Amino acid sequence: MANKVIEIQDLTFSFNNVPVLSNISIDVERNDFWGIVGPNGGGKTTLLKLILGFLKPGSGLIKILETDPERARTQIGYVPQFGSMDKAFPITVQQVVEMGLTDSKNFFPWGQSKLRCKVNEVLESLKILPLRKKYFGELSGGQQQRVLIARALISDPEILLLDEPTSSIDSSVEGDFFTLLKSLCKEITILLVSHDVAFISSYVNKIACVNNSLVCHASNEITTPELISGLYKDSVTSIHHKCGL
């Protein structure tokens, strides 16, 4: 099986004739843990939506698992930016996780017993099985994010995309959350959008700054305030490198 799971070459995307991404090139290998950083409006979320096939590039090549993004979508777990949820909305943790199978061709043949076992397995792996019957709105921000990751993982994807997953998490548990993700990348490839390049560089093995164009670094290269500041400049180019981490 090929080691390259995402291949993007010279990709461009515009919205209403305004360039959002220009000449993006990046190769993501199996079990990589990428941190995607950059200023607001730089195109980070747009890049994830292109990988998912929700948007189509204006030009360039994009292959996910050696096929086009739409065909590969069932192999991608996605945790979008955290939004507020009505605390009174009566949906349990188990029901939220089961929603991750509603687009899967394997959902309807599953019996309730097998489905329940699968949900329990994923919840246990994320250390939130005791929360299975609780209402989602009653959980803490960190617990809710684990539930949303469980929803993304229930279909056994090969790639996990997360868009600002710690925006609603207390800083005291943020380290535990990233430690969890780092353990998950032993089995799955992860791309995570974040604003905190200094913090995530301790956990990811590669960093890409998206600000219309793209610059890539191995995480151990992000060592000085000047370099971190430099990642956010308007004019950047693609740096090709091999990372043995």
For the segment 34-81, what is each residue's pLDDT rounded down to a tens digit? 999 988 889 999 999 999 999 999 999 999 999 999 999 999 999 988
Distance CA 52, CA 79 (A): 12
User: What domains are there in the chain, each with its CATH number?
Assistant: 4-230 (3.40.50.300)
pLDDT at 190: 96
User: pTM (2 decimals)?
Assistant: 0.82
DSSP-assigned letters across all residues of 70-130: HHHGGGEEEE-------TT---BHHHHHHGGGTT-TTSTT--HHHHHHHHHHHHHHTT-GG
pLDDT tens across 160-215, in order? Answer: 999 988 776 676 677 888 888 899 999 999 999 987 777 788 889 999 989 999 88
% of the chain surpassing 90 pLDDT? 51
- Span 221-244, average pLDDT: 45
Q: Are strands 213-218 and 206-211 parallel, antiparallel or unpaired?
A: antiparallel
